Amino acid sequence: MPLAVYVLGLSVFALGTSEFMLSGLLQPVARDMGVSIPTAGLLISAFAIGMVVGAPVLAAATLRLPRRTTLMALLAVFGLGQIAGALAPSYGVLFASRVVSALACAGFWAVGAAVAVSLVPVGARAKAMAVMVGGLSIANIAGVPAGAFLGQHAGWRAAFWAVAGLSALGLVGVAALVPRTEVPTGDDQPRLRAELRIYRDPQVWLALAATALSGGAVFCLFSYLGPLLTDVSGLDEGWVPTVLALFGVGALLGTVIGGRIADAHLFGTMFGGIVASTVVLSALALTAHSPFAAVALALMLGFTAFFTAPALNARMFNLANAAPTLAGATNTSAFNIGNTVGPWLGGLVIDAGWGYPAVAWTGAALAGTGVVATAVAVRVHRATGSSRIIATSADSLEEAAHGSAHHAAHHATHDSARVSR
């Protein structure tokens, strides 16, 4: 695996720490800002909304820019967003800083994912994405618990300052180690209209639905894991960073194992991981009053959620082989649609007075719907025998010149007859 892929994973560590650390800071933020826990939880949705909007918009806007320069600029904006959050005098300013940071984070994910898959063979795409997702897993092991610890002992603003420092380190790493690429010209130049053709394929939409539902299921519960542990399971607030770290340990294990098997067993990895998340969330809803069960199931949820992640990413890149930037951006948006809807639905459940265990049931329902979407995707894939892939820009120009009415198609990589991603 090229060293640059690991550098991208390290940069994602900073981004992921900021994205998810609020799950361990909701209580101090809510107290300081004078808002309710569900209202503080909307800061998680704010970040996700910025990711949803930012990924495709920034991917399209930077399509013809040098990728390394783009990554550095996005990390700089992200760091400034963290500083603004650390200095925020009000909830509204903090909310806005989360959206700005998320826009930069989304752009980095989209461009970084395209860079990562471009540096490896087709058969190693899931492994490359596992390295990037691994940065997110390590953020959950170390960054998120550390942010919660800082929030409890030095104030939640200290966590934002720490992430600003991490983003500066990431910027230096990208500048030093990510290879410099020239802007393509002529027939090799990326064309937005050609890349937009991925959205004509129904299999793309099924893949996006599976990603959104899988992410929404997990983060519906994860966003309120801290209050569930203290208010339902009866753990002291000081235990929250430890349990978040265990979630991260599970996430890292899931990423490593899922990344190793996803290239060979794409659909099986997707199906197995989402089914397992459904089971774990249901079990947590039933046993949340037991501290031991809640802690153990938090670890298992991290595993099942991130076991699926490399496969979900690789599936999208296989479907949209000739549009890697928009493929990465679109899948990032889908994941964060889940990240937006999940915490929002969880907040509605809490406001309705149904309690934190009902949030786990809501996550289980989302995951179950994701299982259905994956099953439909398998059926469609088997029925068509191959995935329709968008043409390259050169193919598009050649077709236009000859007045062809058909789009170029490529065979999807050998996930064909297996139900095994």
Tokens describing residue 172:
């230096």
- Overall CATH class of domain 3-402: mainly alpha
Alpha-carbon distance 232 to 243, whole Å? 14
96 contact partners, CB below 8 Å, separation of at least 6 = 84
Q: How many CB atoms lie within 10 A of CB 400?
A: 9
Alpha-carbon distance 420 to 414, whole Å? 11
Q: What is the pLDDT along the chain (421 residues), one digit of tens a residue?
A: 777 788 888 888 888 888 778 877 888 888 888 888 888 878 877 887 787 777 777 777 777 778 888 889 999 999 999 999 999 999 989 999 998 898 888 888 778 877 887 777 766 767 777 777 777 777 767 777 788 788 878 888 998 999 999 888 888 888 887 777 665 555 555 566 666 676 777 788 888 888 899 889 988 888 888 888 888 888 887 788 788 788 878 888 888 888 788 777 878 888 888 999 999 999 999 998 999 999 999 889 989 988 888 788 778 777 766 565 666 677 777 887 887 788 889 889 988 889 889 999 999 999 999 999 888 888 887 777 554 444 333 333 233 333 322 333 333 333 333 333 3
**Residue 194 carries which side chain, given as an amino acid letter?**
A
Is residue 260 packed enough to be buried (19+ CB in 10 Å), middle (13-18) or exposed (0-12)? middle
- Name residue, tokens 């939409």: 205
| pLDDT tens for each residue of 140-174 | 677 777 887 888 788 889 989 999 998 888 888 88
**Residue 47 carries which side chain, given as an amino acid letter?**
F
Domain boundaries, the chain: 3-402
Contact 250, 190 (CB under 8 A): no
**CA triple 386-389-393, angle to 5 deg:** 155
CA 139 vs CA 43, 133, 373: distances in Å? 18, 10, 29
Helix, strand, coil shares of the chain, percent, nearest 5, are: 80, 0, 20
Choose among 335, 232, 216: nearest CA to 277: 216
247 contact partners, CB below 8 Å, separation of at least 6 = 140, 222, 225, 298, 299, 301, 302
Q: How many CB atoms lie within 10 A of CB 351?
A: 12
Tokens describing residue 68:
């390394």
